[in-house]
């Protein structure tokens, strides 16, 4: 006679599922997410406070960490400042360097350009490792033709191997208005083809809307596939296909289903870094500290409404 345990094994459910008379219930329950708050410096780049200013503002506003742009790091160091002094400056402000924004053409089809792209991101990863930053955004920058997603997955696997070697892991990013890599389905396929435990994706409220992904797909994801999530919102008075980066507004001030998004991120489990990323020229005309504080307050309020204190 076939035992109940053998039936479970034969259909691939494993011992983590428990049978009742008419119900299969998953156990154990997924651990809820822990949220941290981060400032992407694009939000106040229009005020041009400089790298020291970014860190001072983020710290005064009450953020846990920062998302810095590699070009700003390079300019700071090229001005005669040491990498060690920059690392200590970030630490002295009580901030974690959560992620970096770069634009290396690592996914392109042209072999020589791709080789140069991998060399560029290797140098950038080395700098980030020295600054105690262990993530970098990895968009499809430079891609100028329809992508073979299987090939893109193989390239992402190679990038993950490089990241493990250096200690800085690439977060696969997609842009809603980018013609060749704009949809959640595409980024999930590339991550799946890579077939790597360290694959991560970097979604964005605006880009999920702008590229037509919507938000229901977030319910399909779990665990640490998402570590960093870009927070912003889209306006209702501009057609989706016409919206631009500059049109983004504070999270909660637009049409995105923010409570649903936060709830789905919470249900995934794992630590989630909510990073405020805006490019709004109206905000750039305002006091940078006020903008940073306002964005943080709005993110915390959204999380509190869903998660509680």
Report whether 210 contacts 240 (CB < 8 A).
yes
Rounded to a whole number of angstroms, the distance between the first and last alpha carbons of the chain is 53
Mean pLDDT of 74-93: 97
Q: Is the model's pLDDT at 23 over the cut of 70? A: no
Chain center to CA of 149: 20
- Pick the more confident residue, 203 or 21: 203
Provide the 10 A C-beta neighbour count for residue 90. 22
Mind listing the pLDDT tens digit for each residue in 213-251?
999 999 999 889 999 999 999 999 999 999 999 999 999
Mind listing the pLDDT tens digit for each residue in 136-165?
999 999 999 999 999 999 999 999 999 999
Q: Is the model's pLDDT at 191 over the cut of 50? A: yes
Tokens of 138: 């990895």
pLDDT at 180: 97
- Pick the more confident residue, 276 or 28: 276
Tokens of 187: 């980024």
Tokens of 279: 């490019």
Report whether 231 contacts 301 (CB < 8 A).
no
Q: Whole-angstrom Cα distance, residue 262 to residue 33?
A: 10
Return the axis-axis angle of helices 50-61 and 70-78, rounded to nearest 10°: 130
């Amino acid at each position: 006679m076939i035992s109940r345990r053998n039936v479970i094994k034969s259909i691939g459910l494993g011992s983590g599922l428990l049978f009742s008379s008419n119900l299969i219930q998953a156990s154990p329950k997924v651990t809820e997410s822990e949220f941290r708050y981060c400032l992407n410096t694009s939000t106040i780049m229009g005020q041009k406070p400089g790298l020291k200013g970014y860190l001072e503002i983020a710290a005064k506003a009450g953020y846990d960490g920062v998302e810095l742009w590699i070009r700003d790091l390079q300019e700071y160091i090229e001005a005669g400042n040491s990498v060690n002094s920059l690392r200590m400056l970030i630490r002295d402000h009580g901030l974690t360097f959560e992620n970096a924004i770069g634009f290396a053409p690592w996914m392109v089809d042209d072999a020589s350009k791709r080789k140069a792209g991998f060399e560029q991101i290797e140098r950038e990863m080395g700098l980030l490792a020295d600054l105690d930053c262990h993530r970098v955004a990895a968009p499809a920058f430079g891609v100028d033709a329809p992508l073979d997603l299987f090939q893109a997955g193989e390239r992402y696997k190679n990038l993950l191997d490089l990241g493990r070697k250096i200690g800085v892991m690439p977060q696969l990013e997609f842009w809603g208005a980018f013609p060749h890599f704009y949809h959640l389905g595409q980024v999930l396929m590339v991550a799946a083809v890579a077939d790597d435990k360290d694959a991560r994706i970097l979604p964005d409220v605006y880009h999920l809307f702008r590229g037509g992904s919507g938000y229901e797909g977030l319910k399909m994801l779990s665990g640490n596939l998402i570590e960093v999530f870009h927070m912003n919102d889209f306006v209702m008075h501009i057609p989706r296909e016409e919206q631009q980066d500059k049109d983004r507004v504070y999270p909660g001030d637009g049409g995105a289903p923010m409570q649903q998004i936060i709830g789905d991120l919470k249900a995934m489990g794992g630590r989630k870094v909510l990073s405020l990323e805006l490019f709004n020229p109206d905000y750039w005309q305002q006091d940078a500290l006020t903008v940073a504080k306002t964005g943080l307050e709005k993110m915390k309020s959204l999380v509190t409404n869903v998660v509680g204190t």
